[in-house]
Structure 1
Amino acid sequence: MHNMPYRLLFGFVLSLVLQFSLVLSNPPGLNIGFYQYTCPNAEVIVRDEMTKIISRVPSLAGPLLRMHFHDCFVNGCDGSILLDSTPGSPSEKESIPNLSLRGFGTIDRVKAKLEQACPGVVSCADILALVARDVVFLTKGPHWDVPTGRRDGTRSVKDDALNNLPPPFFDATRNLNQFFIPKGLDAKDQVVLLGGHTLGTSHCSSFASRLYNFSGTMMPDPTLDKYYVPRLKSKCQPGDKTTLVEMDPGSFRTFDTSYYRHIARGRALFTSDETLMLDPFTRDYVLRQAGIAGYPAEFFADFAASMVKMGNMQVLTGAQGEIRKHCAFVN
């Protein structure tokens, strides 16, 4: 073990810690290695597919991580984000916060591989959780054991997403009280999970008000770094709904602590992230991770723990729900 690379050694220790804590905290019916007898190669199949996909399209890592978050925050981690609309019943996919999501084809590809190996066994909800873990690991982030055993829901309603997903233009305190705490997540989970913005991009429309008309002033948000505003304006013209901007410039395809440095410098894109600096607890966490060296081991362990906690929210297990044959349709 003395010759084991730091990242692997850390992952090994983190795995042991999480396994011990999960034995005590997993919801009934959810456990590590759920498919060890019914589909023993399930996680290997997911990892192999994601390794191929991320090597070819690394920009999908952020959207796929975000997809798991958007699934879990809307009536629990039940794969409802994956369901297509039906006549007269628009699904969560049609909701404004989800219109920019990408990667549904990736989930379909992984599901098809699992159906070949083990028909009707692995849920789409579990696939989302495993894919989120794997894209983090494949972008140099932590690895953790994902408790599995989720079953798929059959309800997906457009308005549910709008009412349950924290908007980027709300301040952190409002989002915490309105969206995180009611779901059993606390201030630490919030500041840690928002660190996932180290991966991926955002449409200009998600933060344009901070550039051109903050709080109706027709001026930029004064908390935005004054040297950063012109750079963002050069990319995002008023009314631009298509341009993508890196959330963690220079490092948006690597899972690391650098996004916290952007927050500390007034260069976070979203009000929800920038206002983490207003609360003493979250400000301290941001500044600790924003230091010259940062504390990646702390952040990686915290992120893994918060992802497991989020992934346990309102899960369907046992005889609840179903195992979809195709993730976009109920059986």
Structure 2
Amino acid sequence: MTDTDRLHGIHHVTAVAADPAENVAFYTDVLGLRMVKQTVNFDDVTTYHLYYGDETGTPGTAMTFFPFGQTRQGRVGKGMTSATAFRAPEGSLSYWQGRLSESDADVTEPVERFGETVLPFRDPDGQPLELVFGEDPHDDGAVEPWGDGPVPTEHALRGFAGVTLLPTDPESTADVLATMGYEATGTAGDRTRYEVPDRAGVVDVLDRPDAPAARPGAGTVHHVAFRTPDSESELAWREKLLDAGQRVTEQKDRQYFQSIYYREPGGVLFEIATNGPGFTADESVEDLGSGLKLPPWLEGDRERIEANLAPLSVRETEQVTDGGVDDDGGTDADDETAGGR
């Protein structure tokens, strides 16, 4: 099987937030993810681009945000990713129910889905998130939870389980997923599951014709990125997608990976990102996320960029042993990707 027979699961998910300090506090202090990179939106340098993941930001673990500050509240709806799911260890449900309930999260009752227990909740911006309990059947051992984080290792999140899409045209979205190597593996009500046999390899597609239209803003996903090994395979994917009728951007240098973007017919913005060079390209593992990093083409403008960014406090936290929270504690692809990654 070649690297253009299928993509290899989710690489990262990028969403929109409001207050950057609140975003940092929730994703590090509550969810126990490590901030692995502080940088800026390369096409709008007045805004941070914050990356959270496992110890090193392994592809398939990184939840990333554009925290725009005073920005409008978004609405999840048709043409958008409607939920992002993280994988949590079997037996951790009560721990996470307690931890999230004591935080700013809006937690609902767990549900059973395709034989797994799922705990839905929302972050302080209203971002729909889920925890899926149990081992990923395609776990490759690559994910390493943040060793110095506030969540004990036995309960720490293990990267993504998958995403749920709410497209305007589910059949066309399914066709694109098939081109990407995803296969339908089950249906439950208005939800169809598509999978590749890789870690973080699940994409659920909802068919809800009466759902409202999506409105981008705080609390919504901007795009979902899928992983491919290297630049060569990514360029081959670009040609394959162009041949399939997708409008695909040129390859873009995102410093920590190379990227191409396309908006599938159901309205959801997709990215394909390379596995490397990774977040240690400009920081050691020990120093990841500790300061603002800029790509070489922006470094000369550092003083002006820093002056326009709100200060961030990346807290040093200690592990806790119970369920509580530590007290310290448009349609054109090119146009739509102008906001930067």
Kindly indicate which of the two structures has a greater share of residues assigned to strand: 2
TM-score, normalized by length of structure 2?
0.24
Greater Cα radius of gyration, structure 1 or 2: 1
Of Structure 1 and Structure 2, the greater helix share is in 1
